Amino acid sequence: MTQTQAVLVALLFLLMSLVEGPAYNMVSVEAGHEAVLSCPYTSKVPLLMAIWKMKCSTCCLFAYRSDRTETRKLNCSERMMWKYSPDSDPALRIYPVNLGDEGNYTCEVVSSAGNFIFFSSLTVIVPPTVTLTSDTSRVAVCRASVGKPAADISWIPASDRSTEEEVHHLNGTVTRVSYIGWVNSTLPTVTCLVTHPATNQTLFLDLSYTRPSLPYLLMGGSAGVAAVSGVTLCLIFRCRASRLRKLAHGSAVPAATKTFRSIPSLAKTDVIKPPILSESIYQNYNPGTIYMNY
Task: Sheet with 174-181: list strands edge to edge.
Answer: 129-134, 139-147, 174-181, 163-168
**Which CATH number among 2.170.120.12, 2.60.40.10, 1.10.3720.10, 3.40.30.10 corresponds to the domain 20-125?**
2.60.40.10
- Do residues 205 and 178 make contact, with C-beta atoms less than 8 angstroms apart? no
Average pLDDT rounded to a whole number, residues 142-156: 95
Work out the burial of residue 24: count CB atoms within 10 Å of its CB; fewer than 13 is exposed, 13-18 middle, 19 or more buried.
Answer: exposed
Segment 183-236, tens digit of pLDDT: 666 778 889 999 999 999 999 988 776 554 433 333 444 444 444 455 455 555
Q: What is the pTM of this model?
A: 0.60
- Domain boundaries along the sequence of the chain: 20-125, 129-210, 215-290
Nearest-angstrom CA–CA distance, 97 and 115: 29
Q: How far is CA 237 from the centre of its chain?
A: 52
Question: What is the bridge-based pairing of β-strands 139-147 and 189-196?
Answer: unpaired
Between 134 and 147, name the one with better pLDDT.
147
Q: Is the pLDDT of residue 102 over 90?
A: yes
Per-residue model confidence as pLDDT tens digits over 37-66: 999 888 888 999 999 998 775 788 999 999
Whether the bond into 157 is cis, omega within 30 of 0: yes
CATH 3.40.190.10 correct for 129-210: no
Q: Would 20-125 and 129-210 be classified into the same CATH topology?
A: yes
Q: How confident is the model at residue 259 (pLDDT cuts 50, 70, 90)?
A: very low
Within 199-285, strands assigned E span 199-206
Direct distance between the N- and C-terminal alpha carbons of the chain, in angstroms, rounded to an integer: 114
3-state helix, strand, coil in the chain (%, to 5): 30, 35, 35
**156-179 per-position pLDDT tens digit:** 988 778 899 999 999 999 999 999
Round to whole Å and give the CA distance between 248 and 243: 9
Going from the C-alpha of 112 to that of each of 49, 116, 186, the distances in angstroms are 10, 11, 77
C-alpha span between 88 and 92 (Å, rounded) = 13
Pairwise pLDDT comparison (87 vs 182), residue with the higher score: 87
What does R_g of the chain's alpha carbons equal in angstroms?
A: 43
**Nearest-angstrom CA–CA distance, 204 and 155:** 10
